Structure 1
Amino acid sequence: MPKRVTLTFDNGPWPGATEKVLTFLAERKFFATFFMVGARLDDPNARALAERAMSEGHWIGNHTLTHGAPLGGEDGARRFADEIGLAQQKLGTLAHPRKFFRPNGGGALGTHLLCPEAVEYLAQNGFTVVTWTSAPGDWQPPHRHWIEPALADLARDDWTVLVLHDRFIAPQIDVLARFCDEAQSMGVEFVQDFPKSCLPIENGIVREATEKISTFA
């Protein structure tokens, strides 16, 4: 079986940026998942981009309401209901039926990102939590250096789930194109789904305790 890579884009939608990413993906006939911040959809231009993404075959996931502090604190049920539940409401029919959710905060997926109460909320409400295997740092200046660690992760793993960000990738579509060209030259297949190892909670079923989930790059 060939190596695989799944493209994901976090923190959008960003008018002026997300449309450039969508145009590139359409030209390449690649399908990705966009994990969107619910509050951004209050901007009609941002919502139009989310609608475009879904209409073009991309999957839409929940990346919290505000992208504030990670949900690892003992903040009470109301905050989980707001950050997860209200964001899902804002996504509405744009959201993938599997109710994809990606926590914010980076690093290893553990109790600092999702405390037990947050895990319980996600499970009770039938969410599927999606993690990653490669977060090569496109958000870090000078922004264009992410391609080397991303390609190294492709070489290391059989299935790479790559985290990028619309806002930072849009000004460097040439770098994204080079990454995709090099990945294809390596025989890597671009797919839209996720490996089971990146779904610690699937359809509300908790596969393993969050504190035992592996640390990702």
Structure 2
Amino acid sequence: MLAARGLRASFFVVGEALREHRALAERAHAEGHWIGNHTLTHPRPLGESGVEVREIEAAQAELRELAHPDRLFRPSGAGGDLAPGLLSSAAVESLTAGRFTCVLWNAVPGDWTDAGWVETALDQIAAQEWTLLVLHDVDGACADRLDEFLARVDAEIVQDFPPDCVPIARGAVTRPLDPYLR
């Protein structure tokens, strides 16, 4: 669906899932999609898991040559909330030392639980100047209605991240992280 529209996206993959679906990630990478780290096992929220550094480093090791040069990382939250516990001091130290770019979001339509996610996503996009929308490829999530969403969205879709959604860029903290730390 993305290729048919000439679109490129960013896929943040869970390391364990990559083991089973590596060929799909390799295809996405070859087609120009960006591949990033979304932890090894998807603990929610990451910053309260107690194994943050292992989750980040082990997933990055799984990515190998598929990893974006900026070492893109998206933490796992609890239901899409940008709340305390999303990150921890240990996770921040790992991300900065490893020169990662941490990517957050400003729109999560709940596609994994809500069949009406398309309308929610369109409303979220219309409500702000630049939207970083998170969709999921898990069973029962966005895939069934992705084509409809792409046909209806009235916004330019770009493969980039709004600065407000990047609190760590190539290892440098770019804005306060206190709202995400417990």
TM-score, normalised with respect to structure 1:
0.77
Q: 1:178 aligns with which of 143, 148, 152?
A: 148
Gaps of 5+ in 1: 1-23
CA 42–179 in structure 1, closer or farther in 2 if over 3 Å, else same: closer
Aligned residue pair count: 177
Q: 1:82 aligns with which of 54, 65, 72?
A: 54
In structure 2, distance between residues paired with 1:52 and 1:108:
30
In structure 2, distance between residues paired with 1:100 and 1:160:
18
Q: Is contact 1:74-1:115 (8 Å) kept? A: no
- Cα distance, 1:113 vs. partner? 1.1
Matched, 1:133 2:106: yes
Write the letter of the residue equivalent to 2:37.
N
Matched, 1:207 2:180: no
Cα shift readout 1:82-122 (whole Å, capped 9, x = no counterpart): 20001001000101000000000244434311011211111
TM-score, normalised with respect to structure 2:
0.90
RMSD: 1.6
Cα shift readout 1:26-72 (whole Å, capped 9, x = no counterpart): 111110011000112222xx000010000011000000001124222
CA 48–74 in structure 1, closer or farther in 2 if over 3 Å, else same: closer
Write the letter of the residue equivalent to 1:88.
Q
Q: Is contact 2:99-2:171 (8 Å) kept? A: yes
Q: 2:19 aligns with which of 16, 26, 42?
A: 42
- Cα distance, 1:193 vs. partner? 0.5
Larger radius of gyration: 1
Query: Moved runs in structure 1, 4+ residues, more than 4 A?
Result: none
Gaps of 5+ in 2: none
In structure 2, distance between residues paired with 1:198 and 1:92:
24
Q: Is contact 2:84-2:179 (8 Å) kept? A: no
Q: 2:97 aligns with which of 99, 117, 124?
A: 124
Q: Is contact 2:43-2:49 (8 Å) kept? A: no
CA 212–67 in structure 1, closer or farther in 2 if over 3 Å, else same: closer
Cα shift readout 1:140-174 (whole Å, capped 9, x = no counterpart): 1xx3200111111111111111111112222x1xx
CA 116–110 in structure 1, closer or farther in 2 if over 3 Å, else same: farther
SS in structure 1 opposite 2:76?
A: coil
Q: Highest relative contact order (Cα 8 Å, sep 6+), 1 or 2? A: 1
In structure 2, distance between residues paired with 1:146 and 1:71:
24
- Cα distance, 1:74 vs. partner? 7.4
In structure 2, distance between residues paired with 1:81 and 1:211:
18
Q: Is contact 1:110-1:210 (8 Å) kept? A: no
Percent identical pairs in the alignment equals 49
In structure 2, distance between residues paired with 1:136 and 1:81:
28
